[in-house]
Amino acid sequence: MTLGWDYPLPCRRQRAEADPYTHRLVGVLKLELKGITKRFGSLVANDHIDLVVEPGQVHCLLGENGAGKSTLMNVLYGLYDPTEGEILVDGKPVVFKDPGEAMAAGIGMVHQHFMLIPVFSVAENVALGNETTKAAGLLNLEATREKIRRISDQYGFDVDPDAMVEDLPVGVQQRVEIIKALVRDAEVLILDEPTAVLTPQETDELLEIIRQLKRDGKSIVFISHKLREVKAISDTITVIRRGKVVGQADPSASPTELASAMVGRSVSLTLDKAPANTGEVTFKVRNLTVTDHNGQHVVDDLSFDIAKGQVLAIAGVQGNGQTELTEAILGVQPHVAGSITLGGEELLGKSVKHVLGAGVGFVPEDRTLDGLVGTFTISENMILDLYDKAPFASGVGMKPGVIAENAARKVEEFDVRTPSVSAAVGTLSGGNQQKVVLARELSRPLRLFIASQPTRGLDVGSIEFVHKRVIAERDHGTPVMIVSTELDEVLQLADRIAVLYRGRLVGIVPAGTSRDVLGLMMAGVPAAEAEANASAHASGATTPATVSEPVGHEGESHV
């Protein structure tokens, strides 16, 4: 074991300094993009984009979905050839024919969808494409394991080189991707929407890792449309809209300013909503218990009410029973006990069709999986649950004319951006897809509206739209249930907040409850205790043994 192995990164830096070919000082790599243009046929994905990533900086690319951020990074990473323009590394023009060359030049990329082999161990994944061999051509994983441990220790990654990737949580898989880049001496790390798949906690952990990488002299290109994170981590923000750089922003700019720059018009991040005009309680859940096929209670003895004209938001970290709760109401969960009544009618044990027919509007949390048929046209998706009802059908015959007309009207009303109602819904952007789902679910008279993660993966403009429609439905006098893991969304929409933890109801609190209290409740601390803890924090008193770090606490405090 040489000294070089003990301090791999500084050692490598010296090596690179002495490198007569690249003449680049690793660790202070400066990356410039000049006039990058990328056309796909007639579509201009990137239009003369200039970008300078200074060494040791976190440079954020902010833009809505489809603004051309990912295309730009794919150009940089050698996946696309730019139509025009050039890339400069330390002032020298380079052309990357493939990602291998980009990597060799010190650029690493963590894709939105991880490029890992699930049935390989962490070490095998990291070594892949860069394998070292022992005598007789045998794979030498020990060297890789050693590197992983070094990097893991240095940055506090806590990654076991021998763990199977498929067994790891998404957040840890992402760290494996980062390790992959670091092992290949990346000096510039491109993170493409890294937080899209993370929970608030994992997001905080990732942001901390980014800060450490920055301290170590790495540059980070952080691609996101989430303002909170962008503000929390960036040194420089470049806003991209419709393939063009529309300007630089300062991290101290307000979220509204950033959002407006990103969307190209003024947007309001705070939702204007009148106080709830609450009517009678029509939706009642009593002692609801959902058992999974392992006999576990994934929803455990849940009871709550929603009144007409009221929004109940179900908060909680992903996987604490929210999905099972909504699916139990819809009628697709097989082992359910308790009672769910809507206007006095028992819904438990009824078919999905019956529940929908009783006036339940349902926006599933995964629109591409549960909400839409991607290969179907917009017209067909608009009637996915009404296809056999008048006026869309008479008997078993369907009426294409009425269906198309309905779609055209809904597309207009919900501002779905599409060339035609006969376009396959899979070709739409996420925001427009969600509008199709909303348009369908809100198009009939509802007695209960349930929306799971209604704005997941949507851009600012679409989020604003969706939130307005949800509140409009509430003001229409419908009981509304929102399930969201985004605390922001919960706080904006809710009239009451129910927090789930391990399938149990931690408590139902009023809308004005602070983030700190909600964060503690999301970790399972009962409401009263959470209040006490949070106020103790606020008054600066020493608190004995806080149960858990409040979820999203750090991220929130930056705004």
Partner 1 sequence: MSEQTTPDPQATGHDSAPGPAPTQVPGGTSSEAVASDVALDTAGGQMPPSAVPAATQLPSRDKDGEGSVLHQIFTGNAMVSFLSVLLAIVLGGILMAVTNPKVAVTAGYFFAQPGDLLTEVIRPYTALVQGSIFNWAGADLAAQLYPITETLTVATPLICAGLGVALAFRAGLFNIGAQGQIIFGALFGAYVGFAWHLPIGLHLLVVILAGLVGGAVWGGVVGLLKARTGAHEVIVTIMLNYIANFLLLFLLTTPAFQRKGSTNPISPFLDSTALFPELLGPQFRLHAGFLVAIAATAFVWWLLNRSTIGFEFRAVGANPSAARTAGINVARSTILVMAIAGALAGLAGVAQVSGTEKYLSGGVAASIGFDAITVALLGRSTPWGTFFAGLLFGAFRAGGVAMQAQTQTPIDIVLVIQSLIVLFIAAPPLVRAIFGLNPRKKKTTTSGTAGARTGGVKSGAAA
How far is the C-alpha of 501 from the C-alpha of 240, rounded, in Å?
39
Could you say which residues in the range 452-471 bind partner 1, by CB under 8 A?
456-458
How far is the C-alpha of 57 from the C-alpha of 221, rounded, in Å?
8
How far is the C-alpha of 263 from the C-alpha of 292, rounded, in Å?
43
Q: Which of 47, 187, 202, 556 binds partner 1 (CB under 8 A)?
A: 202
Could you say which residues in the range 288-307 bind partner 1, by CB under 8 A?
290, 292-294, 296, 298
Binding of residue 236 to partner 1 (CB under 8 A): no
Cβ proximity to partner 1, 351 vs 420, nearer residue: 351
Helix axes 170-183, 141-155, angle to 10 degrees: 110
Q: Which of 46, 65, 260, 513 binds partner 1 (CB under 8 A)?
A: 65
Could you say which residues in the range 488-517 bind partner 1, by CB under 8 A?
501-503
Count of Cβ atoms closer than 10 Å to residue 119 Cβ: 10
Binding of residue 210 to partner 1 (CB under 8 A): no
* Contact of 28 with 44, CB cutoff 8 Å: no
Question: Which tokens go with 327?
Answer: 């699916």
Q: Which of 149, 211, 244, 335 binds partner 1 (CB under 8 A)?
A: 335
Binding of residue 369 to partner 1 (CB under 8 A): yes
Binding of residue 365 to partner 1 (CB under 8 A): yes
How far is the C-alpha of 488 from the C-alpha of 21, rounded, in Å?
50
Question: Residues 6 or more apart from 147 whose CB is under 8 A from it?
Answer: 8, 126, 183
Q: Kindly provide the residue ranges of all beta strands, DSSP E only, lying in 459-558, ordered along the sequence.
A: 480-483, 496-501, 504-510
Binding of residue 415 to partner 1 (CB under 8 A): no
Cβ proximity to partner 1, 151 vs 172, nearer residue: 172
Q: Which of 32, 54, 160, 370 binds partner 1 (CB under 8 A)?
A: 370
Binding of residue 80 to partner 1 (CB under 8 A): yes
* Letter string b/e over residues 319-347, b meaning 16 or more CB atoms within 10 A of that residue's CB: ebbbbbbbbbbbbebeebebebebbeeeb
CA distances to 13, 113, 211, 558 from 25, rounded to whole Å, are: 7, 31, 21, 33
Region near partner 1 per CB under 8 A, out of 73-81, 212-220, 411-419, 512-520: 73-81
Fill in the per-residue mask, 130 to 169: x = in contact with partner 1 (CB under 8 A), - = not in contact. ------------------------------------x-xx
Binding of residue 546 to partner 1 (CB under 8 A): no
Q: Which of 125, 429, 484, 492 binds partner 1 (CB under 8 A)?
A: 429
Binding of residue 345 to partner 1 (CB under 8 A): no
Question: At residue 176, what is the residue type?
Answer: V
Fill in the per-residue mask, 177 to 196: x = in contact with partner 1 (CB under 8 A), - = not in contact. ----------------x--x
Q: Which of 366, 412, 413, 415 binds partner 1 (CB under 8 A)?
A: 366
Question: Which tokens go with 243?
Answer: 């393939």
Question: Residues 6 or more apart from 302 whose CB is under 8 A from it?
Answer: 285, 287, 288, 289, 321, 325, 338, 500, 503, 504, 505
Cα angle for residues 464, 469, 473 (degrees, 5° grid): 150
Minimum Å gap between C-beta 374 and partner 1 is: 6
Region near partner 1 per CB under 8 A, out of 145-153, 260-268, 337-345, 351-359: 351-359
Binding of residue 423 to partner 1 (CB under 8 A): no
Sort strands 480-483 and 311-315 into parallel, antiparallel or unpaired.
parallel
Binding of residue 433 to partner 1 (CB under 8 A): yes
Cβ proximity to partner 1, 380 vs 556, nearer residue: 380
Cβ proximity to partner 1, 397 vs 544, nearer residue: 397
Could you say which residues in the range 381-410 bind partner 1, by CB under 8 A?
384-385, 387-388, 393, 396-398, 400
Could you say which residues in the range 19-38 bind partner 1, by CB under 8 A?
19, 21-22
Binding of residue 12 to partner 1 (CB under 8 A): no
222 forms bridges with which residues in the sheet? 60, 191
Main-chain dihedrals φ then ψ at residue 152, nearest 5 degrees = -60, -45
Binding of residue 422 to partner 1 (CB under 8 A): no
Helix axes 460-475, 430-441, angle to 10 degrees: 10
Binding of residue 368 to partner 1 (CB under 8 A): yes
How far is the C-alpha of 147 from the C-alpha of 130, rounded, in Å?
13
Binding of residue 222 to partner 1 (CB under 8 A): no
Binding of residue 14 to partner 1 (CB under 8 A): no
How many residues make contact with partner 1 (CB under 8 A)?
Answer: 106
Binding of residue 352 to partner 1 (CB under 8 A): yes
Binding of residue 265 to partner 1 (CB under 8 A): no
Binding of residue 374 to partner 1 (CB under 8 A): yes
Cβ proximity to partner 1, 15 vs 215, nearer residue: 15
Binding of residue 197 to partner 1 (CB under 8 A): yes
Question: At residue 9, what is the residue type?
Answer: L
How far is the C-alpha of 263 from the C-alpha of 40, rounded, in Å?
23
Binding of residue 520 to partner 1 (CB under 8 A): no
